[in-house]
Structure 1
């Protein structure tokens, strides 16, 4: 009789894909594997291999406004792949990208009431779109500086020549102003003045760009975008890699004026008037861009007020600083319009869009820059391997088609479902004012902020609150006990986010309400062990 042998067990695979993050997720009860997704639902497997539905309120951080695997988007993707659509056809014509840019312009023109075109630079992710925007803004700033420096140099040469020809003299006050003492004739004084202004201008021109951003803002974690992200923990380790930002508190226009006064730069020009050479100041564009989210996602779902949006617009226009509106999480119809900023009256010189632009399937993004700021040179110095490909552009066109269908039903649905969800969150807050601090947001981009629990009577709750894991523990409990998926916002860990799809049902809202009310009761009663029980 042949000896029997069993199949060898598969070797255990070491955890190499972000193992520390997996430990953190496991500690919060979030380290589960989802095996299928549709609509507003993700599915995991129980111990017997059966699918367990989980209602998804995280929504891919706002990426699946139309729902997971929307049938029309999936069908279009399958059609494109079956046709062998080219993903890699770089440095060739991309008419589908042009159609996508034109459709985005059509909708944006409708919302802004403008006809000025926005030119499109495509990318793969939201952070990449932000990087493209700030790179373009810096290219534009550099070209403006070069033109200004050339003009000032020509004026300087003209002034020196005027003195040499005897048609002008150097105003003694100009020398005194720069701390200079002239020796020799008028021509020597003119050359001395010219050399000193040229030296000072060279120092000013070498100054790195400065960005403006809001406290609580999040614009990505790449080398440039992370410096625009307010969270110090994300930003500080990489401070030396990119230009820095000044962060402005919400609804504080006075701070804008203070920052401008502190950071303002000038170049010195020599001008001839009434036969005298004098020193005049020309504004130097220190500020490269003002980057702002109309609704802060990772900062705790904070909505920019219409008043402050107007202040930002007017301030930026006055100092010649372009406004970059980051619509990566708030845009694409999530708040009832393609651009959340359009409802605030804020007009961007740049826009960044991503997430839902890819329909939850394609990884794509776009940076849009209005004609007044556009520099064609950027198209040569910036590129991205997977950007502007046929697959992602056609998927994005399908997404826009679905958003605009039936007289823009999806936008209205986002607003209506958002109102229903917010009404429930406000009801929970009203009933638990000792636990819930605030409810914020617009449309299907909402957040509920819990009061600080670092002094809770429960040692368990106190420990997770003090350790910065409070929001993740709440999310873990909602997942385990109520099959609801959500997360805290990255830079405001006491705030849970809710960014579901337009398919959100009343039953799913009720499911979340049950979970939130139980969480509030557990926190109120100090029952931390129940909250964290596996």
Structure 2
């Protein structure tokens, strides 16, 4: 091919790409789209996933698929709901896997981010950025016990990675105890703590030194500590979700977390609470650690930390633990973690949670929701095995995966989004915005009851 022809083809390609970009941007700009535009967006979305993202999603998201095409392509959201590109509204009880604690596009969070965006989006990386300092101070004030210093991340798995590195530098120990059904993320370090074999096997060997014990079994936890000490592999830290989210909304037995704390103290090990899903008011307290009156040495945050507007996460640790990073703060860094937009979102989110008493509301509405779901399931014990939860973190476990799928599909078709958990596929989660109204709760419950009546066990 000649140079001139190559340039001509490249020029034509760039022209086509520019035209496509301008069309996409013009659609983003519109407050309302017409039927033809909605159809074009749907086709481009499905084709794009099939050809350029990952065709597996078209099969995996089959609860929202109809006739080989997506029945819903997300387009807008507000409050406790979102709309698809055709204007159908759904009550969001998946909540982006628990990120919309203060609701979809909470106006105070959106305002904080847009106000910051007008002045500065990202920081230079060299000067001191003020919002990071201010957010760290707020976290020191609201987290339990003597947690004091914060490191900011972009996601939950990054928060867990940072916590593991903190624990290693603190004691130079390399053994970690995690639990069965645990989910801590999918980067190599956090995946080493995650329990599901399907996610782990393709990447073995993972980070050495991780041991898994049954969640809630304090005797096995104690024996593992004893064995590790006996063979000279002292435990650096125990990594736990106070309530297991992806494992199927599994609550700890009474006093279990306190006993784990005591074991950590006895053996000079750290306790890391992964509150990526339980934090920011979800369980009826700002942090689940407060529910169980246990103070960890390190707490991991993400998901709802950015208010459902910005990707944001944090690791907060005691000064005693964090000071191993004082001499060289570049031992662990991230380009975008703690950026001004994310910090603005997190600061506003915490403000909304406190001012509107959303953790308290989660406890109140969650208790009502849980009771009403249990009432709706009466007479369907052949399908529903158990309904459990804390605050607005509720799991509905079925006897078979297929029943859970049918319920999810049936509820979606009727305008309610739920989904299974990653570790326990028989359980669907209920994690709506903490702002969900009682009328919306009643609609979800009535939909659940209607679907249960219509499906066959």
Q: Distance in 1 between matches of 2:302 and 2:73?
A: 25
TM-aligned CA deviation for residue 295 of structure 1 = 1.0
SS across alignment from 2:425? strand
- Match of 1:74? 110
TM-aligned CA deviation for residue 121 of structure 1 = 0.8
Q: Residues 500-515 of structure 1 correspond to what in structure 2 (within 5 A)? A: 500-515=432-447
- Match of 1:212? 177
Equivalent position to 2:423, from 484, 491, 499: 491
TM-aligned CA deviation for residue 431 of structure 1 = 3.5
Deviations 1:184-203 (A, max 9, x none): xxxxxxxxxxxxxxxxxxxx
Any gaps of 5 or more consecutive residues in structure 1? 1-8, 146-208, 267-283, 453-464, 527-534
TM-aligned CA deviation for residue 471 of structure 1 = 3.2
- Match of 1:314? 262
- Match of 1:96? 131
TM-aligned CA deviation for residue 377 of structure 1 = 4.2
Between stretches 508-517 and 337-346, larger displacement belongs to 508-517
- Match of 1:54? 90
Deviations 1:354-387 (A, max 9, x none): 1111010111100111112221246221100101
- Match of 1:294? 242
Alignment check: 8 A CA contact 2:149 2:319 kept: yes
Q: Distance in 1 between matches of 2:274 and 2:254?
A: 16
Q: Residues 43-192 of structure 1 correspond to what in structure 2 (within 5 A)? A: 43-46=83-86, 51-83=87-119, 85-108=120-143, 112=144, 114=145, 116-142=146-172
TM-aligned CA deviation for residue 397 of structure 1 = 0.8
Give RMSD over aligned pairs: 2.1
Q: Distance in 2 between matches of 1:78 and 1:124?
A: 19
The answer to whether the aligner puts 1:516 opposite 2:448 as a matched pair is yes
The answer to whether the aligner puts 1:329 opposite 2:262 as a matched pair is no
Q: Distance in 2 between matches of 1:495 and 1:513?
A: 16
SS across alignment from 1:212? strand
TM-aligned CA deviation for residue 474 of structure 1 = 2.8
TM-aligned CA deviation for residue 285 of structure 1 = 5.5
- Match of 1:39? 79
Q: Distance in 1 between matches of 2:380 and 2:395?
A: 16
Alignment check: 8 A CA contact 1:69 1:360 kept: yes
CA spacing shift, 1:67–1:26, aligned 2, 3 Å: same
TM-aligned CA deviation for residue 265 of structure 1 = 4.8
- Match of 2:338? 388
- Match of 2:299? 351
CA spacing shift, 1:78–1:314, aligned 2, 3 Å: same
Alignment length (residue pairs)? 407
SS across alignment from 1:291? strand
Q: Distance in 2 between matches of 1:28 and 1:522?
A: 18
TM-aligned CA deviation for residue 261 of structure 1 = 3.2
TM-aligned CA deviation for residue 118 of structure 1 = 1.8
SS across alignment from 2:278? coil
Q: Distance in 2 between matches of 1:132 and 1:57?
A: 30
SS across alignment from 2:205? helix
TM-aligned CA deviation for residue 439 of structure 1 = 1.4
CA spacing shift, 1:438–1:308, aligned 2, 3 Å: same
Q: Distance in 2 between matches of 1:506 and 1:363?
A: 29
Alignment check: 8 A CA contact 1:29 1:473 kept: no
Query: What is the TM-score with the length of structure 2 in the denominator?
Result: 0.84
Deviations 1:110-155 (A, max 9, x none): xx4x4x342111110011000000011112222xx6xxxxxxxxxx
Q: Distance in 2 between matches of 1:364 and 1:27?
A: 29
Query: What is the TM-score with the length of structure 1 in the denominator?
Result: 0.72
Alignment check: 8 A CA contact 2:94 2:429 kept: yes
Alignment check: 8 A CA contact 1:211 1:243 kept: no
Q: Distance in 2 between matches of 1:364 and 1:353?
A: 8
Q: Distance in 2 between matches of 1:450 and 1:117?
A: 39
CA spacing shift, 1:247–1:365, aligned 2, 3 Å: same
TM-aligned CA deviation for residue 258 of structure 1 = 2.1
Higher Rg = 1
- Match of 1:416? 364
Q: Distance in 2 between matches of 1:96 and 1:74?
A: 16
SS across alignment from 2:314? strand
CA spacing shift, 1:426–1:411, aligned 2, 3 Å: same
Deviations 1:420-459 (A, max 9, x none): 211111212333222211111111111111123xxxxxxx
Any gaps of 5 or more consecutive residues in structure 2? 1-39
Deviations 1:389-417 (A, max 9, x none): 111111111111111115xx222211111
